[in-house]
């Protein structure tokens, strides 16, 4: 399956930083329980989307942070 990337460098960096913050909050038990689990899952999604430079939620809205 071929898809065009729709994420720019700044978007990818922000997602990685947020994923690291979420993981830090979870693994230091600052945030726990259901909210902590949700943050951890969101962090994993942020990491995956930043590595492939593609966000499926951008498609329906025709958003691209990639630039020209």
Q: What are the structural domain ranges in the chain? A: 9-57
> What is the share, in percent, of the chain residues with pLDDT greater than 90?
87
Examine the pLDDT at 1 and tell me if it is beyond 70. no
CA distance 65 to 55: 10
The set of residues, in sequence order, having a beta carbon less than 8 Å from that of 53 and lying 6+ positions away, is 5, 6, 7, 12, 66
Q: How far apart are CA 32 and CA 25, in angstroms?
A: 8
CB 6 within 8 A of CB 55: yes
Tokens, residue 8 = 């720019």
Considering the entire predicted model, what is its pTM?
Answer: 0.87
């Amino acid at each position: 399956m071929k898809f065009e990337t729709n994420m720019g460098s700044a978007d990818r960096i922000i997602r990685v930083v947020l994923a690291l913050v979420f993981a830090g909050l979870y693994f230091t038990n600052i945030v726990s329980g259901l909210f902590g689990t949700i943050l951890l899952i969101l962090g994993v999604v942020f990491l995956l989307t930043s590595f492939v430079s593609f966000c499926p939620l951008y498609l329906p809205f025709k958003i691209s942070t990639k630039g020209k």
